[in-house]
Amino acid sequence: MKKFILLFVGASLLLVSCNKDDDGGFSNGQTPSLIAESDAIVQDFMWQAMNLWYFWQAEVPNLADDRFSSDAAYTRFLEATPNPDNFFNSIQFNEDRFSFSNSDYTTLVNNLNGISQSNGMEFGLVRFGDGDDVFGYVRYILPGSDASNKNIERGDIFTRVDGTQITGANFRDLLFGSNSTYTLGLAVINGNTIEDTAEEVSLTKVENFVEDPILVATTFNVDGTTVAYLMYNGFTRDFNDELNDAFGGFVAAGATELVLDMRYNPGGSVNSSRLLASMIYGTNTNDLYIRQRWNSKIQDQLSAEQLEDYFANNVDGAALNSLNLNRVFVLATNSSASASELVMNGLAPYVDVIHIGETTRGKNEFSITMVDDPENNYIYSASRESSINSENSYAIQPLVGRNENADGFFDYTSGLVPDIVLEEDLANLGVLGDINEPLLARALQEISGSSTKIDFAVQMPARVMTDSKMFTPTKDNMWLDKPVNLKNQ
């Protein structure tokens, strides 16, 4: 990596003017202004961006404005951790579970738009009892993918990859490594045990595969009531029009109830969550959806318009289709996070949100994609590609704030607890969108008020240790996708 000149910008550029003390140090609240040479180009970008934007900046001593007495001390600190990913981890708050870095910002940006390398099989991983052995189960298959043309479907179990038993120690290399093709060894459930079979399926990951987050959008007639059902697996901003079209279909069908299935939805765009909430509740643009809370450096520099998001009445200029409901049934599990939880929390002051499933992940912070573009305060903008430091391809996705609903509630770091507890059953996963699928059937039972006894006993609960979406660059992230304009700029 080439030598470079450290230009101390970031917080000092935005908030303060730099003043050197008589003793050669720097006054409180300042960052160094001297020029120094260093190889730590990525680390410098990370520190400057985190010092300004990070939600917990004040709680991390190494991010303090007065942490370094000189340019040389700052440079030594950066160079002490040569690996950029390790450095980024070292300057995070100890309660931060979700900030991450990526060595190629283009990969990250593509994933924000639903583009990734994929074979089309989404799955969960579960441990065998107390041991280290692991098995996987297929959650769903993406249409048009490699897996959609193979003999594999929702509910299938696999225990081996290329003949090797999956374990807690090797699953990353086997399933999420550099191998674009792998062969799964399938298994079956026999009572309360899982038994290997000789059947195998070979899958190949395809570059630039685009997942449509709307897996199922349909309606049912339940005792004379038209019920809409939406299986929505990611808040992907490039599919907002398709989401609006789906609700247009629900409105045209006369739906008066909605089952929103976000059991596998790890989150995504805050704006997409606002649009979805509006499609459920209504186009009441005077009603507050969520309010942002930033660190003390940023909060006072943002206008009320920037900090507050209201319900919407259009999608990219087109009229927004809304069901105008006073209640919604949400299917959510521990794999439901960030923007999924935001919809539930943002709707709660206005709509009766009936949560069926499991306690959600508990991710109530949002993030911004940041790159080495100091003149834009490190915020990624597609229109400024040429301004990003060509010697630094890294991006970071740090948590920069929290969203609270119209009642001021935001404290769900332990997850949102279901009104009706029902785990998925590996022995009876059912077909997504089918009225007999257990979680959907439980919601329809509530809607119909049926007294008919249905057996919802769970034989083998799907208690995942992780899932395939957690190994995409965006993971369970929630990001802002509207301009952040600081008053002092």
Partners of 310 in the β-ladder:
288
Q: Is the pLDDT of residue 15 over 70?
A: no
Q: Is the pLDDT of residue 28 over 50?
A: no
Q: Give pLDDT tens digits for 173-185.
A: 999 998 999 999 9
The domains of the chain are located at 4-96, 116-209, 211-459
Q: Give pLDDT tens digits for 186-207.
A: 999 998 899 999 999 999 999 8
Per-residue pLDDT band for 25 (boundaries 50, 70, 90) equals very low
pTM score, whole prediction = 0.85
Give pairs for 246-251: CB < 8 Å, separation 24+.
246/214, 246/217, 247/279, 247/320, 247/321, 247/322, 247/323, 248/321, 249/217, 249/219, 250/217, 250/219, 250/321, 250/323, 251/321, 251/322, 251/323
Per-residue pLDDT band for 30 (boundaries 50, 70, 90) equals very low
- ∠ Cα 485 488 489 (to 5°): 60
Q: Give pLDDT tens digits for 307-316.
A: 999 999 999 9
Task: Identify the weakest region by mean pLDDT among 245-254, 326-335, 373-382.
Answer: 373-382
Q: Is the pLDDT of residue 489 over 60?
A: no
Interaxial angle between packed helices 240-252 and 270-281, expressed in degrees from 0 to 180 and rounded to the nearest 10: 10
Per-residue pLDDT band for 110 (boundaries 50, 70, 90) equals confident
| CA gap 478, 266 in Å, rounded | 8
Residue 13: per-residue pLDDT:
31
| Residue type at position 287 | D
Give a three-class secondary structure readout of the chain: CCCEEECCCCHHHHHCCCCECCCCCECCCCCCCCCEEECCHHHHHHHHHHHHHCCCHHHCHHHCCCCCCCHHHHHHHHHCCCCHHHHHHHCCCCCCCCCEEECCHHHHHHHHCCEEEECCEEEEEEECCCCCEEEEEEEEECCCCCHHHCCCCCCCEEEEECCEECECCCHHHHHHCCCCEEEEEEEEEECCEEEEEEEEEEEECEEEEECCCEEEEEEEEECCEEEEEEEECCECHHHHHHHHHHHHHHHHCCCCEEEEECCCCCCEEHHHHHHHHHHHHCCCCCCEEEEEEECHHHHCCCCHHHHEEECCCEECCEECCCCCCCEEEEEECCCCCCHHHHHHHHHCCCCEEEEEECCCCCCCEEECCEECCHHHCCECCHHHHHHCCCCCCCEEECEEEEEEECCCCCCCCCCCCCCEECCCECCCCCCCCCCCCHHHHHHHHHHHCCCCCCCCCCCCECCCCEEHHHHCCCCCCCECCCCCCCCCC
CB of 345 within 8 A of CB of 309?
no
**How many other C-beta atoms are found inside a 10 Å radius of the C-beta of residue 286?**
6
Residue 479: per-residue pLDDT:
77
Q: Give pLDDT tens digits for 67-84.
A: 999 999 999 999 999 999
Phi, psi for 470 (deg, rounded to 5)? -75, -5
Please provide the average confidence, as pLDDT, over all residues in the chain. 89
Q: Is the pLDDT of residue 270 over 60?
A: yes
Per-residue pLDDT band for 114 (boundaries 50, 70, 90) equals low
Residue 178: per-residue pLDDT:
87
Residue 172: per-residue pLDDT:
95
Per-residue pLDDT band for 281 (boundaries 50, 70, 90) equals very high
| CA gap 165, 72 in Å, rounded | 51
Q: Give pLDDT tens digits for 413-466.
A: 999 999 999 999 999 999 999 999 999 999 999 999 987 778 899 999 999 999
Residue 111: per-residue pLDDT:
66
Name the CATH topology of 116-209: Pdz3 Domain (2.30.42)
Q: Give pLDDT tens digits for 365-407.
A: 888 889 999 999 999 988 999 999 999 999 999 999 999 999 9
Residue 112: per-residue pLDDT:
65
CATH superfamily of 211-459: 2-enoyl-CoA Hydratase; Chain A, domain 1 (3.90.226.10)
Residue 21: per-residue pLDDT:
34
